[in-house]
Amino acid sequence: MDTLIGMSTPSDLERVESRIIELVRNHLSVPATDIAESCRPVLHEVVEQAVTSSEGGKRLRARLAIAAFDAIRPHAGPETRDAMVDLACAIEVFQTAALVHDDIIDESDLRRGKPSAHRALAEATHSTAIGRGLGLMLGDILATMSIAIAEHAASCLHHPHALDSAFLHMQRDVSVGQVLDLAVELNPLDNPTQLADASLNVFRWKTASYTTMAPLQLGLTAAGIAPDRAAELAERIGRPVGVAFQLADDLLDVIGYTKATGKPVGGDIKEGKRSVLLADALTLSDAPARDELIAMYEAPQRDAQDVRRGIEIFTGCGAVDRSRERISALWNEARTAIASSGLDHDAQQTLIRACRMFIPDSCL
């Protein structure tokens, strides 16, 4: 996939990766003399966890933001582009903050194959409660830090106030999305159309907001596009790409490809997650399979056999194919939005390549 990425070259990826760690360490450098000696080890654990939690990841969001900037200003000077890289890093730092809190909400023990932040901090302090408290604070620290990084970078780019405001809006939208995501879990299963609508709506807030919409908006605005127009383009292009990305993530959970997600296949079924796939399966399956699914999802937990049976029903009834169709339709919507963006041909090509990163081949 990396060969498709155009302007956002592998060296950009390395640069983003090392710069994130540098920024996280800079923003957490508190003079040791300001901290009572007996408290330093715990603070040190939190700082190191901030770094560990920030490492890795595909950096898709940062790369999209940089690509959007490059699409408009392919010949920006090195200082301006450095500021854009920092702004892109800020999105990634915010994502880490959101994931740290998400893992506390979901009580997840693992993240990217390593212990989740609150679990690692619980290990380090030999206390589940203190680990959770430290994890919660780590998320807060990273969220605040991401804003500080974004604002410092924005001051060297076009439309700094619009950038600050877009960054804060992104954070709010993701939190609202998490609220909606929890609300969906309270949805009954007897109205699959309503469940599909609700899930797709959550994807716009919880995922598209910071995955594709904000990166596009920030990159385009920073490059000099008028803030209102940048916001509109980001909505028209980024919403369908971001929703398709989340649909693909849920689909990969069922059709395999563990390497791509780092999560065990069927994890969402095991957790009983209300998803678009589930809603489509409830709509498309025959009555016995539907009743089976409802019983399975209303049970307090699901075992490996339930997961296998769930995957079988999702595939057999056509819900998997329906997800692929949804993803293809959204991808076409995004391509149409790019084609009618009024941007020049090269800029359009850059945007198409960058957006294409979010749609795994196996999901189209």
- Using CB under 8 A, list all residues that contact a copy of itself: 27, 30, 34-39, 41-43, 46, 101, 104-105, 107, 125, 127, 129-130, 132-134, 136-141, 143-145, 147-148, 151, 155, 161, 164-165, 168, 171-172, 175-176, 178-180, 182-187, 191, 194-195, 197-198, 200-202
The identity of residue 122, as a single letter, is A
For a copy of itself, the closer CB: 21 or 136: 136
For a copy of itself, the closer CB: 32 or 226: 32
For a copy of itself, the closer CB: 23 or 202: 202
Q: How far is the CB of 288 from a copy of itself (least distance, A)?
A: 26
- Report the b/e string of 243-275 with b at 16+ CB within 10 A: bbbbbbbbbbbbbeeeeebebebbebbbebbbb
Beta carbons within 8 Å of 215's beta carbon, 6+ residues apart: 61, 62, 64, 65, 68, 88, 91, 238
Q: How far is the CB of 301 from a copy of itself (least distance, A)?
A: 14
Structure token digits, residue 227 = 């803030």
Q: How far is the CB of 34 from a copy of itself (least distance, A)?
A: 8
Q: How far is the CB of 213 from a copy of itself (least distance, A)?
A: 13
d(CA 308, CA 302): 10
For a copy of itself, the closer CB: 40 or 112: 40
Q: How far is the CB of 181 from a copy of itself (least distance, A)?
A: 9
For a copy of itself, the closer CB: 182 or 329: 182
Q: How far is the CB of 133 from a copy of itself (least distance, A)?
A: 4
Decide if 87 contacts 25 (C-beta within 8 A).
Answer: no
Structure token digits, residue 82 = 């450095």
DSSP state of 53: H
User: For residue 154, which of 169, 166, 145 has the smallest C-alpha distance?
Assistant: 166
For a copy of itself, the closer CB: 41 or 56: 41
